[in-house]
Structures are given as C-alpha cells and as structure tokens.
C-alpha cells in the first residue's frame, strides 16, 4: 500500500520544484557545466552537490525517496533541455543523479 503524499499544515502537498535556493543554484551550476560539454566524470562534484541538496530537502519535508527522484529527474531534464544540453549527455547525467540521490537520501539512516 502506498503511503499518502506528505502535506503541510494547511493541507497542501509537499512537492520539490527546485524552489529550494540551494538546490536551484546547484542545478544551475550543473547545467552550465554540462553545456560546456565537460565529461560526466568531471561533473562528479556538481552531480553530488545537486543530489545532496535534493535529498536533504526531501528528508526535511518528509518526502519519500521515490518522490525526490521524480522531482530531481524532472528538474534536471527540464533545465538541461531548455539550456540545449545534448540528449545523450542529459540521459547519462540523469542516471548518475539518480544513483547519487539514492546514496545521499539514505546516508546516515
């Protein structure tokens, strides 16, 4: 059975739409680096920073890991596509973001 979506004190569902300033800034850095066509291996720190920001925010708002990953993938794909990052590169980075996000979400638990 699926757990209900966490809600805040006025009943609105928590979502992650990159309104968290820390996550938004880190996502912008990753998009800029990806546009510069740096290799994925060289983006390790940027990928980890984005994943950490999203995982921390998700834990703080009581989102489940799956919700965090969906939000992260949407934000990455939307940001990268609008910035003109090449599609194969977008997919490769998305896979690494998901892995890093899962690791960060369950870190210290």
For the ranges 10-19, 57-66, 94-103, which has the lowest average pLDDT? 10-19
CA separation (Å) from 103 to 1, 9, 29, 78, 109?
A: 24, 29, 21, 23, 10
- Rounded to 5 degrees, φ, ψ at 19 are -80, -20
Tell me the domain boundaries of the chain: 21-105
Q: Rounded to an integer, what distance in angstroms lies between the CA atom of residue 7 and that of residue 62?
A: 9
SS3 55: helix
Find the helix or strand (DSSP H, E) in which 10 lies. Answer: none
Q: Are 71 and 16 in contact (CB under 8 A)?
A: yes
Residue 104 has pLDDT above 70, yes or no: yes
Looking at 1-108, list the stretches that DSSP marks H as alpha helix, in order from N- to C-terminal side: 21-35, 44-60, 65-83, 87-105
Q: Categorize the per-residue pLDDT at 38 as very low, low, confident or very high, splitting at 50, 70 and 90.
A: confident
Question: What confidence tens digit (pLDDT) does each residue in 40-93 have?
Answer: 999 999 999 999 999 999 998 899 999 999 999 999 999 999 999 999 999 999
Question: What's the pTM value of the predicted model, to 2 decimals?
Answer: 0.79
Residue 13, helix vs strand vs coil: strand
Residue 109's pLDDT band, with cuts at 50, 70 and 90, is low
């Amino acid at each position: 059975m699926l757990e209900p979506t966490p809600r805040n004190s006025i009943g609105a569902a928590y979502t992650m739409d990159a309104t968290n300033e820390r996550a938004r800034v880190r996502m912008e850095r990753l998009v800029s680096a990806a546009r510069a066509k740096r290799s994925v291996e060289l983006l390790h720190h940027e990928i980890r920073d984005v994943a950490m920001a999203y995982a921390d925010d998700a834990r703080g708002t009581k989102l489940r890991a799956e919700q965090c990953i969906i939000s992260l993938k949407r934000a990455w794909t939307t940001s990268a596509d609008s910035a003109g990052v090449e599609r194969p590169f977008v997919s490769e980075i998305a896979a690494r973001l998901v892995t890093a996000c899962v690791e960060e979400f369950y870190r210290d638990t």
